[in-house]
Amino acid sequence: MNYLEGLNEQQEKAVLHKDGPLLVLAGAGSGKTRVITCRIAHLINYHHIKPWNILAITFTNKAAKEMKERVAHLLGEQMQGIWIHTFHAACLNILRQHIDKLGFDRNFLIFDSSDQQVLVKDCMKALNIDEKNFPAKSILSEIGKAKDVLMDCDQFEAEYGSDFRMRNVAKVYKRYQQMLKNNNALDFDDIIMHTVKIFKDHEDVLEYYSRKFKYIMVDEYQDTNHAQFVLVSLLAKYHKNLCVVGDDDQSIYGWRGADISNILDFEKIYPDCLTIKLERNYRSTDVILEAANNVIQNNKGRKPKRLWTDVTGGDKIVRMNLNDERDEAAFIMGTIKNKVDTGSSYSDFAILYRVNAQSRVLEDTLANKGIPYKIYGGTKFYDRKEIKDLMAYLRLLINVNDDVSFRRVVNEPKRGIGQATVDKLESFAQENQMSLFIAASNATSLPGLERAAVKLESFTKLISLLTSLKETMDLSELVETVIEQTGMEESYRSENTVESQARIENLREFITGVMEYESEMARMAEQEQPEETDPDEPVEVYEAGLEDYLFRVSLSTDIDNLDQDEGFVTLMTLHSAKGLEFNEVFIPGFEEEMFPSYMSIFEEDRLEEERRLCYVGFTRARKMLYLTHVNSRTIFGRTKYPMVSRFFKEIPKSCMNLPKVAPKTQDRQPSFGGGHQEKKTPVYDFGALLTRGGHPVELNDIGKKKTNSQGMSFESGDRVIHAKYGEGTITAITGQGDNAKIEIIFDKFGMKRFMLSMVQLEKI
């Protein structure tokens, strides 16, 4: 087989290179995997290098499997003996032979994340460290960060001994490592750290492997952390035939330890290296590449390169300015529906979002439109742990005898009610034919539950209190109270990890969904109520009820009966999308503080990583790219009026699709390519495309000027101040006379509704 056939000039140059360090800067879609596999084939076929003298390392099992399959296609049985592994798989091979040098037996175990948490909690208990003040996940996160930079427990203690919090982490770290050793076990981070330790402490082992691997190739080098960098450097110590392949412009995992300087400084570390740039893109259109190039060139910390393609004439990028996130979702789904109706497949489309919580509105709209979808690299919004926990609490407020929900949240967040206690409670409840809640309410009188009785009864009193509030609070206020009083948000906040912050954002986003439901019910009550009614005929009441909302949520996630033959729309975060490609890509939320993230806009390094993430998002698209932004976005329980993303300014206008005909002027009308529009409430003129809960939007008299009992005159768009909720913007005024209602989105408290005749407001 002629493996050189079809390679472009730069690819061939990389494949034919033999000795010495090699840096291959491989832009998105430039065929880097083909370069690595063909280079392996050339070393064996042409230079007669033995397969066992070659090591190829990548990051994921999927990537390693794909690489093995491609090499097998090129070499057949000649490939036997090549090490094509992930970092961790390669290190495990080494540890199986030499871990006894660290005092472990060779039949050691690998503890997964749940095992790690149990072990850390045991260590904390022995050290009398309260998990409420030092959450196990937070401690494990700190230990993981330390191992990423090869800092053992003694070094950690010496570095952070003067800090109260970190001093306690150091105590746990030291005991945790000892307990791992007592169990003859390693955690995931130990695999690389212990391999490096063996190499540094035992020169004979390092010499064996550095001589064995004459040629080393590392894929996705921009994603390596410090520990992986040291490992590779040690292995390449003898022959120095190290080939690293990667793209500094796609380094997007700094938040989990990836160090972009590893690839940026490669030429400094190996001054005699050959650098080859793969800039020809085989994936995207010329228009998409032009936009991606112009965005990424604004980063200072990068190697200069520019993607190009010889396929010209691509469609321009579609930029949509919409009213809010619901209209944004409706536009995306309407576009997908229209294209599928004209021959496209659902699998052609991907929706890539910056923040996990954005998926909630998108998922609701997909389900409502009957569009099949899958979430990759994440969990569906309503299937996420924190959301299922919250809904379990809410179900208990409807029915305290719901044993399934009781089991889920009785010790979530942690209340010191262990599984053994729940098992005893369950046995008693079954014997006496009562629910777990009733049994727990009487725990002080139950044998064997004396120690946990106070905690159980405290839990049932909390549920009873929240149940009583159900009748007096607005639904959104009730949900917020549940999150606060149960300690869910505070528990995640104390963990202080990236994952826990995402969980908090998802809880706040659940509140946003409830607020939208309240608004919908208010509109329906106004629209559907006839002006005259038969006094003997019962009138249908539209109220925002907890039971109805949970029922709607359960329906919105049920896609079991959808036709799967046409594939699925893919939903995922931009981080999860790296390495994938789709015909058409939507990136919603192209706004300041959303993308780029609010956590990055004041730090140059973080902002550059956001720009790299933007570059990755753009280059996932083969044919079409859609960027959407809104005038107002309610997310995490708050409404904001965002500015458009600064990244728009970095895209050439020639790449953007502007309307040939100005859109009609209506109360709610989207605009292509428009700038930020404040204090407008446009809505779609897409007919049936835009609905709220399956009902077409009707404007009626929303927004007309109304006065309250104090004689103050208000209209939609006015800025007002309320004694309790502070400043906000009026978004709707409906009804007549004493029945008039006013809807206000407050800057800090989200949406609230009042009877206009009762509320006291001041204009700002």
> The tokens of 281 are what?
């893109």
Report the alpha-carbon distance of residue 314 to residue 324 in Å, rounded: 29
Q: Output the CA torsion 196→201→205→210 (10° steps).
A: 60
Full DSSP string of 408-472: HHTTSS--S--HHHHHHHHHHHHHTT--HHHHHHTGGGSTT-TTTHHHHHHHHHHHHHHHHHTTT
> The tokens of 718 are what?
């006015």
Element (H, E) at 477: helix 475-485
| Contact indicator for 403, 427 with CB cutoff of 8 Å | no
Report the alpha-carbon distance of residue 741 to residue 757 in Å, rounded: 8
Catalytic residue among 12, 13, 18, 33: 33
Query: 3-state class of 523 per DSSP?
Result: helix
Neighbouring C-beta atoms of residue 562, cutoff 10 Å = 16
Residue 433, C-beta contacts closer than 8 angstroms, at least 6 positions apart: none
Catalytic residue among 131, 148, 189, 220: 220
> The tokens of 651 are what?
């895209």
Full DSSP string of 354-390: SSGGGHHHHHHHHHHHT--EEE-SS--GGGSHHHHHH
> The tokens of 519 are what?
């608004």
Report the alpha-carbon distance of residue 50 to residue 147 in Å, rounded: 34
Report the alpha-carbon distance of residue 623 to residue 620 in Å, rounded: 10
Catalytic residue among 32, 175, 508, 578: 32
Catalytic residue among 10, 116, 250, 734: 250
| Contact indicator for 180, 105 with CB cutoff of 8 Å | no
33 among known catalytic residues: yes
Report the alpha-carbon distance of residue 706 to residue 511 in Å, rounded: 29
Signed CA dihedral, 362, 251, 498, 197: sign only: positive
Burial profile 654-676: b = 16 or more Cβ within 10 angstroms, e = fewer: ebbbeeeeeeeeeebbbbebbee
| Contact indicator for 402, 495 with CB cutoff of 8 Å | no
219 among known catalytic residues: yes
CA 695 to centroid of chain Cα atoms: 31
- The edge-to-edge listing of strands for the beta sheet with 22-26 is 83-86, 54-58, 215-218, 242-246, 22-26, 274-278
> The tokens of 191 are what?
């695999």
DSSP H helical segments within 99-163, as ranges? 113-126, 136-148, 153-160
**Which contacts qualify for 689-696: CB closer than 8 Å, 24 or more apart?**
689/330, 689/334, 690/326, 690/327, 690/330, 691/330, 691/368, 692/326, 692/516, 692/520, 692/523, 693/368, 693/517, 693/520, 693/524, 693/552, 694/368, 695/520, 695/524
Catalytic residue among 131, 148, 219, 363: 219
220 among known catalytic residues: yes
Residues in the chain: 764
Catalytic residue among 620, 622, 706, 741: 620
Report the alpha-carbon distance of residue 149 to residue 152 in Å, rounded: 9
Cis upstream peptide for 652 (omega within 30°): no
Report the alpha-carbon distance of residue 175 to residue 179 in Å, rounded: 6
DSSP H helical segments within 573-657, as ranges? 604-618
32 among known catalytic residues: yes
Element (H, E) at 42: helix 32-45
- For residue 581, what are the CA distances in angstroms to 352, 574, 585, 756? 11, 12, 9, 52
Residue 225, C-beta contacts closer than 8 angstroms, at least 6 positions apart: 148, 149, 257, 258, 259
> The tokens of 486 are what?
């149960």
620 among known catalytic residues: yes
CA 232 to centroid of chain Cα atoms: 30
279 among known catalytic residues: no
Tell me which residue of 454, 424, 451, 431 sits closest to 442, measured CA to CA. 454
Provide the annotated active-site residues: 32-33, 219-220, 250, 620
